[in-house]
């Protein structure tokens, strides 16, 4: 069967790599019924119904059998015609199906290209499109639920409300530019400043929720540091609830960074157990110590472990003096079961202190609670939508422009410009004014077939 396709027809395996019971090949483009006919040997699929069929190669031999689903555009995920071939999940079979689709005029999709088309065809805004990848990558139930809220438009809805209020305020301000002799009185009568302050209050609430969502998405990076044999690996195992790191009484057992991800109250926590910091002639241990300092530079919080029987000895003071000033740290006095110290939280010399026993796990819950407090997590993910760093940046810029607008409201031209910049910053979140190069970066991080 001969037919022509537009160059925009794309195809990809939409299921995870490897073997599985079911494998899905997804196709998107315009006028895909001829492809459906060719691959099913003349069958015409009913829109949005599953058609059981063999999938045929060019020579008429069957490649596989399964279900063919046809979603005519614009009522599809991408807004174009979409076909899904649901067959058996073997890598060879899926590769053969892909080759057949390419032979029929499709091309292999780029990472994230299906979702990008959904965005470009106004099926999703940019925040919703990003939440597709976030839902796939969610590291906890809370993150998954929040990602779904964003996908359903919760985050976008809040941004749209702010933009609508901005547009109303901008209309008032722009109207005064035609009558400069009356502009200030007009703005005062229209309560422009009051509107501005209420708008800023709404923005701050969205910013707070977005920060909580960013924590659920990104998590926090915690690095365990200290001298050898103070219990870093034992604490990592206690936090993880499993024997991740090797524990011995031999100093220098951990010679490289060991990473583990746990979840505390819905927040992903990336824990890095490091080589003990000390002077050594061991070449391998030196490399581990160098990597320790690299991990420290990237961390959100440092847990400095100390043997509670020894306290903060001069060698520990040296480590403290070398830590970056911007890095929050917690002094963790371990081995309370041996020293007899009372477990729990306190504060000494302006730094939070936790006394615990990594071996018995006494006091570990207090440390977990402290870590969440240090990153500002409220512990309530209800109503939280997932957010990214670029969202927080856009909101921060919008807040800065609103603050400047409040300061310069009597200079109408400046006032109007600050409001315009505020709207542009917020519109970057949903993609109204997002540069094409940023779109390329965002969608290139998606998996192929999504």
DSSP secondary structure letters along 146-215 = HHHHHHTTHHHHHHHHHHHHHHHHHHHHHHHTT-GGGHHHHHHHTTHHHHHHHHHHHHHHHHHHHHHHHH
Which run of H or E residues covers position 225? Answer: strand 220-226
Q: What is the largest CA-CA distance in the chain?
A: 83
Output DSSP code: residue 72: -
pLDDT in tens, the chain (450 residues): 344 434 589 999 998 888 888 999 999 999 999 999 999 999 999 999 999 999 999 999 999 999 999 999 999 999 999 999 999 988 999 999 999 999 999 999 998 899 999 998 999 888 898 888 888 888 778 888 888 888 888 999 999 999 998 888 888 777 776 665 555 566 667 677 788 889 999 999 998 888 888 888 888 888 888 777 888 888 888 887 765 544 444 344 444 456 778 888 878 888 887 655 555 555 555 666 676 667 777 778 888 888 889 888 887 787 777 777 888 889 999 999 898 889 999 888 788 999 999 899 999 999 999 988 887 777 666 667 888 888 999 999 999 999 998 888 778 788 888 988 999 999 989 887 655 655 666 677 677 777
According to DSSP H, which parts of 246-387 are helical?
283-298, 314-322, 336-339, 364-374
Domain 229-308+325-374 has CATH 3.40.50.720: no
Produce one character per residue of 13-24: b if its CB has 16 or more CB atoms within 10 Å, e if not: bbbeeeeeeebb
Vertex 112, ends 21 and 57: CA angle to 5°? 50
| CA distances to 25, 55, 122, 185, 244 from 52, in Å | 15, 10, 31, 71, 47
| Spatial separation of the C-alpha atoms in residues 411 and 233, rounded to whole Å | 61
pLDDT value of residue 333: 92
On the question of a cis peptide bond just before residue 74, with omega within 30 degrees of 0, the verdict is: yes
Q: What is the assigned CATH class of domain 128-215+385-444? A: mainly alpha
CB 17 within 8 A of CB 89: no
Same fold flag, 10-109 and 128-215+385-444:
no
pLDDT value of residue 201: 92
Question: How many Cα atoms occupy the beta-carbon half-sphere of 30 within 13 Å?
Answer: 7
Candidate CATH numbers 3.40.190.290, 3.20.20.100, 3.65.10.10, 3.30.1360.120; the one for domain 10-109: 3.30.1360.120
pLDDT value of residue 252: 42
Residue 167 burial (C-beta neighbours within 10 Å; 0-12, 13-18, 19+) = exposed
160 in helix, strand or coil?
helix
Cα of first residue to Cα of last residue in the chain, in angstroms, is 29
Closest by CA to 332, choosing from 302, 375, 360, is 302
pLDDT value of residue 146: 85
Q: Where are the domains of the chain?
A: 10-109, 128-215+385-444, 229-308+325-374
Closest by CA to 234, choosing from 179, 303, 161, 327, is 303
- pTM of the prediction? 0.71
Vertex 244, ends 239 and 249: CA angle to 5°? 95
């Amino acid at each position: 069967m001969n037919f022509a396709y537009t160059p925009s027809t794309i195809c990809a395996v939409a299921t995870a790599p490897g073997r599985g019971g079911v494998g899905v090949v997804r196709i998107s483009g315009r006028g895909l019924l001829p492809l459906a006919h060719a691959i099913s040997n003349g069958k015409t699929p009913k829109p949005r119904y599953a058609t059981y069929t063999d999938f045929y190669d060019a020579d008429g031999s069957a490649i596989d059998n399964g279900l063919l689903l046809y979603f005519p555009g614009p009522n599809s995920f991408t807004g174009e015609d979409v076909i899904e071939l649901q067959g058996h999940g073997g890598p060879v079979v899926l590769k053969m199906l892909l080759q057949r689709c390419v032979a029929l005029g499709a091309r292999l999709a780029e990472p994230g290209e299906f979702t990008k088309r959904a965005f470009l065809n106004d099926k999703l805004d940019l925040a919703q499109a990003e939440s597709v990848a976030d839902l796939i990558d969610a590291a906890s139930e809370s993150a998954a639920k929040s990602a779904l809220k964003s996908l359903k438009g919760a985050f976008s809805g809040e941004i749209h409300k702010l933009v609508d209020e901005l547009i109303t305020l901008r209309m008032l301000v722009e109207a005064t530019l035609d009558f400069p002799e009356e502009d200030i009185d007009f703005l005062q009568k229209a309560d422009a400043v009051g509107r501005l302050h209420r708008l800023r209050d709404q923005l701050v609430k969205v910013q707070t929720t977005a920060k909580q969502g960013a924590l659920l998405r990104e998590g926090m990076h915690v690095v365990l540091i200290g001298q050898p044999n103070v219990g870093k690996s034992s604490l990592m195992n206690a936090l993880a609830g499993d024997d991740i790191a090797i524990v011995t009484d031999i100093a220098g057992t951990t010679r490289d960074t060991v990473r583990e991800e746990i979840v505390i109250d819905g927040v992903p926590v990336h824990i890095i157990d490091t080589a003990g910091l000390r002077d050594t002639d061991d070449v391998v241990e030196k490399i581990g110590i160098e990597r320790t300092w690299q991990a420290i530079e990237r961390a959100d919080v440092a847990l400095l472990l100390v043997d509670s029987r020894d306290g903060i000895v001069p060698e520990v003071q040296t480590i403290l003096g070398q830590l970056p000033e911007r890095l929050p740290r917690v002094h963790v006095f371990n081995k309370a079961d041996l020293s007899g110290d009372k477990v729990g939280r306190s504060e000494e010399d302006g730094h939070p202190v936790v006394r615990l026993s990594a071996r018995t796990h006494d006091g570990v819950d207090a440390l977990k609670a402290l870590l969440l407090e240090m990153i500002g997590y409220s512990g309530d993910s209800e109503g939280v939508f997932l957010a990214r760093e670029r969202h927080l940046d856009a909101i921060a810029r919008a807040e800065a422009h609103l603050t400047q607008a409040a300061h310069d409201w009597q200079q109408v031209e400046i006032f109007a410009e600050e409001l315009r910049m505020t709207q542009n910053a917020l519109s970057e979140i949903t993609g109204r004014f997002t540069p094409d190069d940023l779109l390329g970066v965002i969608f290139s991080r998606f998996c192929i077939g999504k």
